[in-house]
Structure 1
Amino acid sequence: MPAKVASFRRTPPNPKPEYEFLGPPGAVGMLTVLPLITYGLYFNCRAEFGCPPLNWTKGDGYWPALDTNFANYPRDLLGFFLSTWDREAFDLYSYFMVFLFVCYFVIPGHVVEGAVVGGVGGSPLTKDRSNYKLKYKVNALRTLMLIGVLAVATLMTKGVEPFLFLHSHFVGLITASLVWTFGLSIFVYIWSFLPDENGQEKILACGGNTGNMIYDFVLGRELNPRFSASPNSTFDIKYFIELRPGLIGWVILNFGMACQQWHNLGRITNSMVAVLAFETFYVVDSLWNESSVLTTMDITTDGFGFMLANGLLTWLPMNYSLQARFLAAFPVDMSVAHTMIVIATQCVGYYIFRNANLQKDTFRRYGADAPQNKGLKYMETASGSKLLISGWWGTARHINYFGDWLMALAWSLPCGLSSPIPYFYPIYFAVLLIHREFRDEEKCHKKYGKDWDKYCEIVRWRIIPYIY
């Protein structure tokens, strides 16, 4: 028997985890409901029909080829999907993905080491499953800067016309992103069953190797699908998708919506300026702190499957640009008081979010005895880990979530109160953060045991001090 095959077979088996997200039924729901929500936010918020539509009669064109008869659902769902196919939009989305891929390798960037990953299956090099770290190239912000230069050059030479495509072909871009989502999800699922280049079993995620094909496909079997692009370069698919297509695509779509408003009105409203400024700042800040994502659950714990692929390729850019798309169709001129409320909400949210995360990262990076952490109180667990019980993290166990949500609210407030649809994001985001908080709590309780109970007695509040 070849040595590589023998090594692969000797790798200890991966344990079977417990189901999350309602198990296989929840996974089926994600496959069907999440894409329909994205389409729904488009078809139910357009200038032609209103936001939401005033006329819900079938056949008016806002939900093409989709029957309300449940018996015909599978057939009509396929017909609906095909009716949204747009070859030009698919080509543009594909060019965008290829461009980002090339930029990842061509644009210089420093290499950083990530946190210990929480997978199971064995390190390809050492078989040490308790201290497995990976290295990543950081250059996403430089990629966005290059795209910004190209966008400004296009605007100066050709005006807004090239960018109007993003608005007029928006539904086609949704479909294109879903084609990429399903295609990439199928690829990484099959890829996860193949031995790595050393003939060993891949590092699998704790939550995506149950043996149920649909559930594992959605949650993701492999923790960090990656391959060697060259002798000195490794391409990590999940890390690449985590920040680049979604966040950068979000900024590009917002810019396209602003160009559409300029085309319609001959000017840009102050509400559109606020949405673009706040959301672009959020993206730039995220890419500036790109290495911080390496300590998140997405990278260290969750596998890469349909759930993350859809969230990053489709859900984020298509749904998070809803406010800018709404304002392109339904302009809002904010009063001075309205403007001040929006700015105050954004600033308070960012102050909490950034300073809380900075305090945590600084404490983890430099330790409790570092000068910058002087005065911070902490408790030491039996595992040797230190948990902050003062500063931001002494007020609530997930105080950064509160700041993040306040910013989400600030991005919807410029749309006014004429429609509830632009507020989909802060409503959805609140549900997401509470669910993530429950996952974090469960993970920490398993990790720290009774020490976590003691910590919760000291830091009583979960997200919002004195409220929740």
Structure 2
Amino acid sequence: MSSKTSKGFRRTPPNPAPEYEFLGPPGAVGMLVFLPLVTYALYFNCREGFGCIPAFWDPKDGFWPSIGANPASYPADLWNFLSSTWDMKAFYVYSAYMAFLFISFFVIPGDVVEGTVVGGVGGSPLTKDRSNYKLKYKVNALRTMMLIFALIAATVYTKGVKPFLFLYDHFLGLITASLVWTYGLSIFVYIWSFLPDSNGQEKILACGGNTGNMIYDFVLGRELNPRFSASPDSTFDIKHFIELRPGLIGWIILNFGMACKQYHELGRITNSMVAVQLLEAFYVLDSLWNEPAVLTTMDITTDGFGFMLANGLLTWLPMNYCIQARYLATFPLDMGLVHCALVIITQCIGYIIFRGANGQKNRFRLYGPSAPQNRGIKYMETASGSKLMISGWWGTARHFNYFGDWLMALAWSLPCGFASPLPYFYPIYFAALLFHRELRDAEKCRKKYGKDWDKYCEIVRWRIIPYIY
């Protein structure tokens, strides 16, 4: 039930028996503190003039070279460290980038598509029936990327690579700028979630972000789809906007800056840097080309928008995922023929699995089992009315797409060689993330489908990797 707080506005009360994820409130506090520190640590432990652990790491330098050995001085040292990361120029550049993306969303034409059914609690009387609640989204992320490519090409043609050295030289400041935006946006959407929409009705809240614990809800996200208009026909969705634009596009821009640094220092680009640039750019362009497919993901349909997603998309993704290019900018490497073949084969296998499985899922959800696109796909019907595929990619493993995604992540790190584990941070972290995401999804499906889920698991035995897991 909802509690009345003002005329025409009823607020959904917190869940009286919340089911916490990510270790509950302590885990939420850990995310607020340690996720930014991990991003800083990856920079300080792999940089020019210091090396990249373990090859050049001196234990006496510690994890934080600028923090002293005296525990009593840690607060002051930590403050001095944080102060040293502030770079006004970097903040202006990152803010200008965000403003450019925001303006481009409205200026650049794009198709309007309808997403799948989203799940949440609360909402206006018109949206109480959650069985057919769908939102519309404007799709133009790829065109935005194409415009940025054109601007980059024009800049290189007229001024060379020098302007892009800023991205390498001010990388630490860009990390801090992205965190300012992360915390700022997280605070905004948290406060925004308590305000009535333009019709005076309560917002649609995420099922897992309305526990009543302020820190936990702030991190997981209270509101499911924060928008400036309550109309389902509105197309500017903050979560969808952040999902594909700042992080993915920013990742490729930072990669390009690292390639410019290598070219400036060596006078050429190594084949390992070329491989990283091409493979990661292909992944991003493929994601933007298939932008409607993101509307069927857990991030959009189930999770609230809070600090966890904001940090992941504004800071974690672009600043940490470019570590391979940043490593090669400082420690250049040329690959041999066998090394190149290993990278290409790993990438191709991963992409075939990833895109094949995701494409099949997207077509099945959008068009239904009777559509010509889904001819030959076997499925089982559940008591809830949902249909679960049991053939094709999804008959091989319940989340075979995760395995393909991880193989591609591994392919991006292989060009860096094996002198340091830090370029492999992404596939290591990504493996843990995917395993945890599969467990979360399995728990949600078990609650939703009951005995039908057990029957489905008997048919499709493997979770991610056939015959292994």
TM-score of the two chains, using structure 2 as the length reference: 0.95
Could you tell me which residue of structure 1 aligns to residue 15 of structure 2?
15
Compute the displacement of 1:14 (Å): 5.2
1:182–1:306 CA contact under 8 A, matched in 2: yes
1:358-437 equivalences under 5 Å are 358-437=359-438
Residue type at the aligned position of 2:369: A
1:42–1:171 CA contact under 8 A, matched in 2: yes
**Whole-Å Cα distance in 1 between the matches of residues 5 and 235 of structure 2?**
21
Compute the displacement of 1:384 (Å): 1.6
**Whole-Å Cα distance in 1 between the matches of residues 57 and 378 of structure 2?**
56
**Whole-Å Cα distance in 1 between the matches of residues 298 and 132 of structure 2?**
16
Could you tell me which residue of structure 2 aligns to residue 158 of structure 1?
159
2:117–2:301 CA contact under 8 A, matched in 1: yes
Unaligned runs of 5+ in 1: none
**Whole-Å Cα distance in 2 between the matches of residues 79 and 384 of structure 1?**
58
1:137-152 equivalences under 5 Å are 137-152=138-153
**Whole-Å Cα distance in 2 between the matches of residues 390 and 231 of structure 1?**
34
Could you tell me which residue of structure 2 aligns to residue 281 of structure 1?
282
1:409–1:426 CA contact under 8 A, matched in 2: yes
Residue type at the aligned position of 2:144: T
1:13–1:121 CA contact under 8 A, matched in 2: no
1:402–1:463 CA contact under 8 A, matched in 2: yes
Compute the displacement of 1:363 (Å): 1.8
Higher mean Cα deviation, 120-129 or 65-74? 65-74
Compute the displacement of 1:133 (Å): 1.4
**Whole-Å Cα distance in 2 between the matches of residues 440 and 222 of structure 1?**
20
Is 1:55–2:50 an aligned residue pair? no
**Whole-Å Cα distance in 1 between the matches of residues 233 and 385 of structure 2?**
35
2:210–2:222 CA contact under 8 A, matched in 1: yes
| CA gap 1:359/1:68 in 2 versus in 1, 3 angstroms | farther
Could you tell me which residue of structure 2 aligns to residue 200 of structure 1?
201
Could you tell me which residue of structure 1 aligns to residue 347 of structure 2?
346
**Whole-Å Cα distance in 1 between the matches of residues 71 and 220 of structure 2?**
27
Compute the displacement of 1:117 (Å): 1.1
What whole-Å deviation, never above 9, does each CA across 1:410-437 have from its counterpart, x for those lacking one?
0000000111110000000000000000
Could you tell me which residue of structure 2 aligns to residue 78 of structure 1?
79
Higher mean Cα deviation, 342-351 or 233-242? 233-242
What whole-Å deviation, never above 9, does each CA across 1:301-328 have from its counterpart, x for those lacking one?
1111110000000000000000000000
What whole-Å deviation, never above 9, does each CA across 1:313-361 have from its counterpart, x for those lacking one?
0000000000000000011100011000000000000000001111111
**Whole-Å Cα distance in 2 between the matches of residues 193 and 286 of structure 1?**
33
Could you tell me which residue of structure 2 aligns to residue 266 of structure 1?
267
1:130-279 equivalences under 5 Å are 130-228=131-229, 234-279=235-280
| CA gap 1:382/1:218 in 2 versus in 1, 3 angstroms | same
Compute the displacement of 1:128 (Å): 3.1
**Whole-Å Cα distance in 2 between the matches of residues 73 and 234 of structure 1?**
47
Percent identity over the alignment?
77
2:353–2:401 CA contact under 8 A, matched in 1: yes
Compute the displacement of 1:122 (Å): 1.4
| CA gap 1:138/1:433 in 2 versus in 1, 3 angstroms | same
Residue type at the aligned position of 1:404: D
Question: Aligned to 1:225, what secondary structure does the other structure show?
Answer: coil
Compute the displacement of 1:67 (Å): 4.1
2:296–2:362 CA contact under 8 A, matched in 1: no
Compute the displacement of 1:385 (Å): 1.3
Higher mean Cα deviation, 100-109 or 222-231? 222-231
1:326–1:415 CA contact under 8 A, matched in 2: yes
**Whole-Å Cα distance in 2 between the matches of residues 441 and 230 of structure 1?**
32
What whole-Å deviation, never above 9, does each CA across 1:86-112 have from its counterpart, x for those lacking one?
000000000000000000000000111
Could you tell me which residue of structure 1 aligns to residue 302 of structure 2?
301
**Whole-Å Cα distance in 2 between the matches of residues 51 and 58 of structure 1?**
12
1:90–1:172 CA contact under 8 A, matched in 2: yes
Residue type at the aligned position of 2:42: L
1:64–1:83 CA contact under 8 A, matched in 2: no
| CA gap 1:226/1:73 in 2 versus in 1, 3 angstroms | farther
What whole-Å deviation, never above 9, does each CA across 1:265-319 have from its counterpart, x for those lacking one?
0000111111010100000000001111111111111111110000000000000
**Whole-Å Cα distance in 1 between the matches of residues 233 and 448 of structure 2?**
35
Q: What is the aligned length?
A: 463
Question: Aligned to 2:229, what secondary structure does the other structure show?
Answer: strand
2:379–2:388 CA contact under 8 A, matched in 1: yes
Could you tell me which residue of structure 1 aligns to residue 456 of structure 2?
455
Compute the displacement of 1:65 (Å): 4.0
Question: Aligned to 1:120, what secondary structure does the other structure show?
Answer: coil
Compute the displacement of 1:373 (Å): 2.0
Is 1:95–2:96 an aligned residue pair? yes
Residue type at the aligned position of 1:24: P
Compute the displacement of 1:115 (Å): 1.2
Could you tell me which residue of structure 1 aligns to residue 329 of structure 2?
328
Unaligned runs of 5+ in 2: none
| CA gap 1:292/1:28 in 2 versus in 1, 3 angstroms | same
2:116–2:366 CA contact under 8 A, matched in 1: no
What whole-Å deviation, never above 9, does each CA across 1:167-213 have from its counterpart, x for those lacking one?
00000000000000001111111111111111111111111111111
**Whole-Å Cα distance in 2 between the matches of residues 195 and 272 of structure 1?**
50
Question: Aligned to 2:388, what secondary structure does the other structure show?
Answer: strand
| CA gap 1:256/1:105 in 2 versus in 1, 3 angstroms | same
| CA gap 1:51/1:27 in 2 versus in 1, 3 angstroms | same
1:5-44 equivalences under 5 Å are 5-9=6-10, 13=13, 15-16=15-16, 17-44=18-45
Compute the displacement of 1:116 (Å): 1.1
Residue type at the aligned position of 2:394: W
**Whole-Å Cα distance in 1 between the matches of residues 352 and 71 of structure 2?**
48
What whole-Å deviation, never above 9, does each CA across 1:114-170 have from its counterpart, x for those lacking one?
111111111474443343211111000000000000000000000000000000000
**Whole-Å Cα distance in 2 between the matches of residues 229 and 126 of structure 1?**
11
| CA gap 1:71/1:26 in 2 versus in 1, 3 angstroms | farther
